[in-house]
């Protein structure tokens, strides 16, 4: 996904007036020549029904299962919404379950030109291991450490 250059110019005029800009939108949107994005593909299936739910588990839980007892490896139920994840392999030519789609999960980003703002969240920073619950604390740390006058 790319942003129209005119839109970038308009945003630039706005954020040049700001002391601090925090972005959680997917980092690839701000990509410039020379940026390197590493990722991995997975199959994922989510629900939009907090009452139904795919995952038969308590809310705010994540279950990782590497056994042969199930074909998924991660099941989560957060804010009543469930997701299941399966590894992506060339052997699976069709989704492992009806409605599953291929998702690109960030691993790391190497930026050559940098930006004038702070990128937070897994997709915003394009970094593995950042959870939704981490972003609030990341933002608080940025605000606490920023020397805005």
**pLDDT on residue 51:** 56
Q: How many of the other CB atoms lie within 10 Å of CB of 98?
A: 7
List the one residue out of 108, 134, 131, 125 whose CA is nearest residue 62: 131
Per-residue tens of pLDDT for the chain, all 149 residues: 556 767 767 777 787 788 888 888 888 888 878 889 999 999 999 986 555 557 678 988 889 988 888 888 899 888 888 899 998 987 767 888 888 999 999 999 998 766 677 899 999 999 998 887 889 999 999 888 875 54
Q: How many of the other CB atoms lie within 10 Å of CB of 82?
A: 21
Distances (CA, A) of 85 to 65, 96, 103, 112, 142: 10, 10, 9, 32, 31
- Which parts of 65-100 are beta strand (E)? 74-78, 81-87
């Amino acid at each position: 996904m790319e942003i129209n250059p005119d839109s970038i110019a308009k945003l630039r005029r706005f954020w040049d007036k700001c002391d601090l800009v925090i972005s959680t939108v997917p980092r690839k949107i701000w990509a410039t020549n020379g940026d390197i994005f590493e990722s991995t593909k997975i199959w994922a299936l989510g629900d939009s029904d907090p009452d139904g739910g795919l995952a038969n588990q308590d809310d705010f839980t994540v279950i990782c299962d590497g056994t042969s007892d199930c074909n998924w490896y991660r099941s989560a139920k957060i804010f009543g919404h469930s997701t299941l994840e399966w590894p992506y392999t060339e052997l699976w030519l069709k989704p492992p379950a009806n409605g599953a789609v291929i998702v690109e999960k960030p691993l790391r980003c190497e930026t050559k030109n940098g930006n004038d703002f702070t990128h937070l969240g897994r997709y915003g920073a394009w970094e593995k291991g950042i959870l939704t619950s981490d972003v609030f604390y990341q933002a608080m740390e940025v605000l606490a450490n920023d020397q805005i006058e």
